[in-house]
Structure 1
Amino acid sequence: MSTTDRTDQRPVTGPAGGRPAPAASPVRPPAAVGWAYAMVIVATLAAIASNVFEIAHQVETGAAGAATTGDLALTIAFCALFGFFAEMLRAGRQWGRVLLTVFTALGLVFTGLGLAGLGGRPLVGPLQASLAVTSLVPSVIGLVLLFVPSVNAWMAEVRGNGRMITQRLRKLVLTCHVAISVGWLGLVTGMFAMSVAGATTGDAEQQAAMYRTMSLLDEIFLGMTSMFALITGIVVGAGTKWGLLRRRWVAVKFWWTMGVMVLGFSVIHQLILEANELVAAGAPVRGGELDSVGWAMAGSAFVALASLVAMTTISTYKPWGLTRRGRAATHTARAAAPAGR
């Protein structure tokens, strides 16, 4: 979702075209922003409590391991990130609102999958299910409040006053986005290769080693890299005047990235767990259920790999021009520009 267009670096000038115009006075946020902020905090705390409960359950049952370390790291990261996004929302940053929206929506999807016992992360017991529901309700309320008319008008006014990330910060975030995306592509490439090796080998030990390694990469690294690739891409897009949904190639990458993340969580992760359970149960290497799971895992990994390669190609060629929203924004900006410029 990175954008490599050059931003407009012309200085803002005063009426005489000389010294820069004074910065606009801060615009007071509407009450809905405060309520949305409170709902985000409540939902985040409930989600963190749910994750902590799951980690404690893993420790108590002796299932703690690399997955537990990954869960703990993700819990800490989400705690810090949601707090940061909420503060950026109160500061009027459009990309803060976008990130809160995206991760709240993903949280709703993943919690729904957990409540349904899908996606390899079923919720453990009534307490964790109650915490998940407690997180869902304020999440929905906060998500609605983020887009009421008063908040939309306030965000537009603040954005018009230049609340964007600086060029220096943009280059830093873009560098991080490219590096993390390369790491994500490398991880998925390796997992595809291992899934094919596991599905074609006749050696039980080699197959078990492939699936254990895939589980390790999935639990510790894959979720983290995909999450931060999405975050940095959104900041680079929504944090600049180019916008997140104003150019078709950026919008396509945005939705496609979330689709690959959902595929990884709800399909690939589940298949890796099933493959390792079958290996542990002594299932035959060829000709049984492990065959079907192995090839399904290889096919899903190929879809994820092909998607990431396609998104890299889109980033390079930047096709398709402006979206309808982008054309409307451009028309509005030209209409508001002083004559003769």
Structure 2
Amino acid sequence: MARALVGKKTRQLLVFVHVAVSVGWMGAGAANVVLALTAGYSPDPVLRLACYQLIDRIDWWLVIPLAFATLVSGVVVSVASPWGLSRYWWVLTKLVLTVAVIVYSTFLIGVWVEESIAAVAAGAPESPVAGQLAYGAGLNIVAFLFMTWASVAKPWGRTPWGRERRTRRAAGTRPAAAGAAR
């Protein structure tokens, strides 16, 4: 395994920060699921509007900052540890899923929240995207749980990039310097 770029105590602190912000992101996402379901099934338009507005506030003050803190802290932990960013499939999968959840939440869920607020505020009996919002928020929780499982199980082994590096090190060779003559 590759040598870590930071000491054990620093790595533990980085992992702690990553876990804390990730759990916070998942918790805020879970709150949004409850609020979306409450809004979707409530006959009270005032309660529905309040739930959608709370989702919007939770998104701006918790979900968005925690999502990016999770992404940044995950990259830092990966780069500063022997796991690397692309050496193992489970790390690469978590990175791709984190970015996918951020994009999905921004371009779909965020839009559905805005549409729901506008519809209910305009007097519509319900949001036309209430179901999509609730199920979309629930899908994020599934992604969070899958990423948590991957962190614990560390499945699938090394990527081709991880195997290549390991093979070079075993052979005692280093990759050619950029721009070196062949």
Task: Give the structure-1-normalised TM-score.
Answer: 0.49
> Which aligned pairs between 1:151-230 and structure 2 lie closer than 5 A?
164-230=5-71
Deviation for aligned residue 1:166: 2.9
Q: Pick from 327, 336, 340: which aligns with 2:163?
A: 327
CA–CA separation in structure 2 for the residues paired with 1:216 and 1:304:
18
CA–CA separation in structure 1 for the residues paired with 2:22 and 2:83:
20
1:313 maps onto 2:149 in alignment: yes
Q: Which has the higher contact order (CA 8 A, sep 6+)?
A: 2
What letter matches 1:181 in structure 2?
A: S
Q: Which residue matches 1:234?
A: 75
CA–CA separation in structure 2 for the residues paired with 1:165 and 1:277:
49
CA–CA separation in structure 2 for the residues paired with 1:336 and 1:7:
14
What letter matches 1:274 in structure 2?
A: E
CA–CA separation in structure 2 for the residues paired with 1:240 and 1:329:
15
Deviation for aligned residue 1:318: 0.6
Secondary structure of 1:243's match? Answer: coil
Deviation for aligned residue 1:208: 1.3
CA–CA separation in structure 1 for the residues paired with 2:18 and 2:82:
18
Deviation for aligned residue 1:245: 0.5
Give a deviation string over 1:47-75, Cα, whole Å, max 9, x none: xxxxxxxxxxxxxxxxxxxxxxxxxxxxx
Q: Which residue matches 1:294?
A: 130
CA–CA separation in structure 1 for the residues paired with 2:82 and 2:172:
15
CA–CA separation in structure 1 for the residues paired with 2:12 and 2:81:
11
Percent of aligned positions that are identical: 29
Q: Which residue matches 1:271?
A: 112
CA–CA separation in structure 2 for the residues paired with 1:315 and 1:199:
33
The number of aligned residues is 173
Task: Give the structure-2-normalised TM-score.
Answer: 0.90
Deviation for aligned residue 1:167: 2.5
Q: Pick from 280, 304, 309: which aligns with 2:121?
A: 280
CA–CA separation in structure 2 for the residues paired with 1:311 and 1:242:
15
Secondary structure of 2:84's match? Answer: coil
> Which aligned pairs between 1:70-219 and structure 2 lie closer than 5 A?
164-219=5-60
Give 5+ residue unaligned stretches, structure 1: 1-5, 9-161
Give a deviation string over 1:252-272, Cα, whole Å, max 9, x none: 001010000001111111111
Secondary structure of 1:254's match? Answer: helix
Q: Pick from 94, 99, 109: which aligns with 1:253?
A: 94
Give a deviation string over 1:77-109, Cα, whole Å, max 9, x none: xxxxxxxxxxxxxxxxxxxxxxxxxxxxxxxxx
Root-mean-square deviation over aligned CA pairs: 1.6
Q: Which residue matches 1:336?
A: 172
Give 5+ residue unaligned stretches, structure 2: 174-182
CA–CA separation in structure 1 for the residues paired with 2:64 and 2:2:
31
CA–CA separation in structure 1 for the residues paired with 2:164 and 2:115:
49
Cα contact 2:89–2:155 (8 A) shared by 1: yes
